[in-house]
Homo-oligomer: A and B are copies of this chain.
Amino acid sequence: MARTTGSDGIRTEEAIRHAAVELIAARGFEAMTMRQLAEKVGVQPGSIYRYFPSKGRLLLDLLVEHLEFLVSRWETEQPRDADPRARLRAFVDFHIRSHTLRRREAFVANMELRSLAPADYRRVVALRRRYEDILTGILRAGVEADCFRVPDARVATFAVLAMLTGVGSWYRETGRLGKRELIEIHTQLVMQCVGAQ
């Protein structure tokens, strides 16, 4: 069969992305095979190569797309003129929402950096750095405005991000805690952590 009626390129590409994120999240990038991916999508392995020139490039695309989504979405959503406390609250809310909504993408973006080719790695780390810098900026502003008390803004950035990102690895939509409660709990933990007055 040359083409299944109704299928088309964009749909197939989207299906590949989606299936890839699921498989990589579940087994890891190296452990996922193109055969498994193809089977999940419902195409032949060779067909994937119409959309992604290599397995490595597929991973790169996934990570870049996710990180660009994070950065650009925050640009839109952020309460630009609020005080550091409100901005930190907004950040926690934003981070947890995006890391539960796109849980698998976030997980993959955190776990699979080392599976990238060196040049790709540098590119993605630079992108991730831009996201980290958002939080560092908020913390520094808060320290200067005397409303946060952290010993080292950079270390605190890593600490808070690790804390928040970790949620994605154990959160289940059907679990004990809803998304709302999760956000409340982590807002409190983070605000205490940075010594918010």
Give me the interface of A with B, judged by CB distance under 8 Å: 26-28, 30-31, 111, 114-115, 149-152, 155-156, 158-163, 165-167, 170, 177, 182, 184-186, 188-190, 192-195
* Shortest distance between the CB of A101 and any CB in chain B (Å): 19
- Taking a contact as CB atoms closer than 8 A, the residue among B149, B152, B160, B185 that contacts A185 in the complex is B152
- The residue on B at minimum CB distance from A160 is B163
Q: Is the CB of B155 within 8 A of A177?
A: yes
Q: Is the CB of A28 within 8 A of B27?
A: no
Q: Is the CB of A115 within 8 A of B165?
A: no
**For the complex, what is the distance from the CA of A66 to the CA of B83, rounded to whole Å?**
44
**For the complex, what is the distance from the CA of A88 to the CA of B156, rounded to whole Å?**
19
**For the complex, what is the distance from the CA of A177 to the CA of B158, rounded to whole Å?**
14
**For the complex, what is the distance from the CA of A133 to the CA of B170, rounded to whole Å?**
16
- The residue on B at minimum CB distance from A26 is B114
* Shortest distance between the CB of A69 and any CB in chain B (Å): 22
**For the complex, what is the distance from the CA of A27 to the CA of B113, rounded to whole Å?**
10
* Shortest distance between the CB of A56 and any CB in chain B (Å): 12
Q: Is the CB of B31 within 8 A of A115?
A: yes
- The residue on B at minimum CB distance from A165 is B162
Q: Chain B contacts of A160 at CB under 8 A?
A: 163
Contacts A30-B28, A163-B159, A193-B193 given; does A151 touch B188 at CB 8 Å? yes
**For the complex, what is the distance from the CA of A196 to the CA of B194, rounded to whole Å?**
13
* Shortest distance between the CB of A95 and any CB in chain B (Å): 13
Contact sample, A vs B, 6 pairs, CB 8 Å cutoff: A149-B192, A151-B189, A155-B182, A155-B186, A159-B163, A161-B166
* Shortest distance between the CB of A29 and any CB in chain B (Å): 8
Q: Chain B contacts of A189 at CB under 8 A?
A: 150-151, 155-156, 159, 193
